[in-house]
Amino acid sequence: MKRRSGCPLSVSLEVFGDRWSLLIVRDLMVRGLRTFGEFQSSGEGIATNILADRLKKLEAAGVIGRETEEHDGRRVNYRLTEKGIGLAPVLLEIFVWSAKYEQTGASCEIITEMERHRDRVVAEARRRWERRDLTPLTPKVEGEALRISKGKSRREKR
């Protein structure tokens, strides 16, 4: 693949710098999703052709891998690779940054705990990945939006 430049930020953006790739990584890492159908119904509204393209792109970049379901050879599960789980600290910092500076649906308490215990959060994401534990790392954010919008945002509380 020809690169725009050798700048590490530029190279990384070529791997996951589109609108959907990090959301797929998030779904694998944080929500425990693993199939095309689960990604499709994750609530973000990704079109099937875009999802298929991003999965292929992430696989080609070595961020995710495909595995055939043991009990049903027709079913494909996606899984982060070592390279993919290496994005855990990056995702954590993006979560914290966004909750700090933007209006989000994330619980202030959860983000504060994630920020305070960064190493533990990253270690737990890695542990779940190693053990193939699909338990979501954080609660769903969708239900939080209403509660936060009625009160002060995290930024206003500081």
Q: What is the mean pLDDT of residues 77-89?
A: 97
Q: What is the mean pLDDT of residues 121-130?
A: 95
pTM: 0.82
Does 94 score more than 90 pLDDT?
yes
pLDDT of amino acid 140: 61
pLDDT of amino acid 69: 87
Residues 6+ away with beta carbon under 8 Å from 32? 128, 133, 134, 135, 136, 137
Segment 56-82, tens digit of pLDDT: 999 999 999 999 988 888 899 999 999
**Domains of the chain by residue range:** 7-81, 87-158
The dotted CATH code for 7-81 is 1.10.10.10
Segment 1-12, tens digit of pLDDT: 777 888 999 999
Rounded to whole angstroms, how far apart are CA atoms 139 and 147?
14
Does 148 score more than 60 pLDDT?
no
Rounded to whole angstroms, how far apart are CA atoms 59 and 63?
6
